[in-house]
Every structure is written in structure tokens, then in C-alpha cells.
Structure 1
Amino acid sequence: MPETSAPADAALEWAIGRGLGALADKMGIEWVEFTPERCIARMPVEGNTQPVGLLHGGAYVVIGETMGSMHANYHAGPGRLAVGIDINATHTRSATEGWVTAVCTPIHLGRSLTVHEIAISDEQGRRCSTVRITNMVKDR
């Protein structure tokens, strides 16, 4: 596991170097912050909507899984891999324009399991969705 006292900029460099993956790139997801304690990303509503103009529920899940899995892999450390085994989302509001911001906070960082909560809000700070992901950590 990486040192939890590692500088925040080293954690962000790790995340940027690893990349977000092709799907997250297509959706326009961008890192805002990545530290051992939490990570923050944002995603545009435009291009990620349902036919009626609301941010697609699956888009909330994509940003949540991207962030939770990345943070779990950072926690896992070299030679280990975190893979998602459970995810759920509760949508409480619909974003229709601008950007959403997602804050990913670990609930549990164990040797074999991690659990993260991702709170996703619109530009007015109103929570739109809450995603929870559990990752299994294993040797590569």
C-alpha cells in the first residue's frame, strides 16, 4: 500500500499517469484532486445525456466506478489489483447542463476489500447521485 503520508501531488501524478481509461476519456471525465484521503473529478453533462436531456443514470455510475476503482487501486499498491465486485447508485436529482462534480471518499480500506462512496453534485452544489462501490483487492 502506498504511504498514506505521501504528498498529495504524488498521488495525483500516479492517477494521471495511470489514466482514466477509454470510456472515461470519451465521457470527458477530468481529475480535480487525488490524494490518499479522497479524490474529486468532474464530468460534463453535455454528451452524456438521455434523449430527454437529463444526465444519463449510467453516466453517474461510470464516474463513480472510475473514481472508486482508481482510489482502490492506489490503496492496493504495487503488485496488487483492485477489481469491482459490487456497485449501486441512488439518483436523487437530475443534472441538465454544465458539469457535475464527484467526491469519492473511502468508507473502508482493508487488505482484501475496499468500499468507497461517491457523492455527485451539480454546479449549484445539489447532490444528484450517490454511488457506492466495493472492490476486491488481490495479487496480480
Structure 2
Amino acid sequence: MKLNKEEVLKQCAIMCKNTLMETLDISFCDVGEDYLVAKMPVTPRVHQPDGVLHGGAMVALAESVGSAASHIFLDTKDFYIRGLEISANHVKSVRDGYVYARAEIVHRGRTTQLWDIKIRNEDDNLISIVKLTTIALAKSR
């Protein structure tokens, strides 16, 4: 499949309107043949009480980029994509700047998809490792 990078990123931006992604100011910034990247600003809006990025915000970023990648790389004309399972290991804290989540496909099955998502800061330090499983559910006809 040949991707039109500009068109894909435009469609991702449209998907974010009036959603949690818009609330968290998540935006999609890069796409390739087998990956999608989104970024999120680290501000007090996504901090936990002690002033570092909340783990739940990182998981929301990861699920957002992984689910959007499923929409891009699967034929969603006949399917809904839903998150089935997610697990995260947070390895470094962040107080400000941006974090970038890159979703790469590990397994592309007919029904389930497994995504490896690495979240990094602006200095390319690893912040979190996330595994997301999505499922493609048939739309009723």
C-alpha cells in the first residue's frame, strides 16, 4: 500500500475533533508504511500532583496512536477497531516539553493486531513502553 503521508495525517487530525485526543492536545506528526507517530505536550494539564507526566495520559496517548494506526493500516470500511488490551511500563518521568509515541505493528491478524508503542521525549530518551492489542469487529450490515 502506498501512503499519501499528508492525506493520512490530515485524516488523523479530523478523527481527533471533539475527542479525548483533542482534550489532551494529541496530534499526529509522522506516518510510514508500517508506523504512525503522535505527539502530546507535557503541561500541568497532564501532570500528576507532583508535577510529572501522569501515566494515564501516556497510556491514552499510546492507545490513541495504536488505534489510529489500526484504522490506517486495516480496511475499516467493514470493521470497527477497538482496543482489547493495553499494558505499559513507565521507565522515566517527564515534566515538560513534548512526548512522542511511535506505534509499530508486531502482528497483523485478520481479527487481532498487536502494536509495540514506544514513548520518547524530545531528547529521544525512552519514557514508556506500551503493548496494545486491537480487535477488528465486523460492522453489521
TM-score of the pair, normalised by structure 2: 0.89
State the number of aligned residues.
Answer: 137
Q: CA RMSD in A?
A: 1.5
The whole-number CA distance in structure 2 between the counterparts of 1:90 and 1:20 is 29
Please list, as runs of the form range in 1=range in 2, the aligned pairs for 1:82-93 lying within 5 A after superposition: 82-93=81-92
1:97 Cα offset (Å): 1.1
The whole-number CA distance in structure 2 between the counterparts of 1:68 and 1:134 is 9
Moved over 6 A (4+): none
Check if 1:127 corresponds to 2:107: no
Deviates more, 1:7-16 or 1:51-60: 7-16
Native 8 Å contact 2:13 2:27 kept in 1: no
| Secondary structure of 1:12's aligned partner | helix
The whole-number CA distance in structure 1 between the counterparts of 2:109 and 2:5 is 21
| Secondary structure of 1:93's aligned partner | coil
| Secondary structure of 1:82's aligned partner | strand
Question: Structure 2: any 5+ residue segments left out of the alignment?
Answer: none
Please list, as runs of the form range in 1=range in 2, the aligned pairs for 1:94-133 lying within 5 A after superposition: 94-133=93-132
Question: Structure 1: any 5+ residue segments left out of the alignment?
Answer: none
Matching residue's letter, 1:6: L
Please list, as runs of the form range in 1=range in 2, the aligned pairs for 1:38-117 lying within 5 A after superposition: 38-46=35-43, 47-77=45-75, 78-117=77-116
1:43 Cα offset (Å): 0.5
The whole-number CA distance in structure 2 between the counterparts of 1:138 and 1:29 is 25
1:104 Cα offset (Å): 1.0
| Secondary structure of 2:118's aligned partner | strand
Check if 1:29 corresponds to 2:26: yes
TM-score of the pair, normalised by structure 1: 0.90
The whole-number CA distance in structure 2 between the counterparts of 1:70 and 1:128 is 21
The whole-number CA distance in structure 2 between the counterparts of 1:12 and 1:29 is 12
Identity of aligned residues (%): 26
Deviates more, 1:5-14 or 1:69-78: 5-14
Cα deviations across residues 26-49 of structure 1 (Å, max 9, x unaligned)?
111111113441111111110200
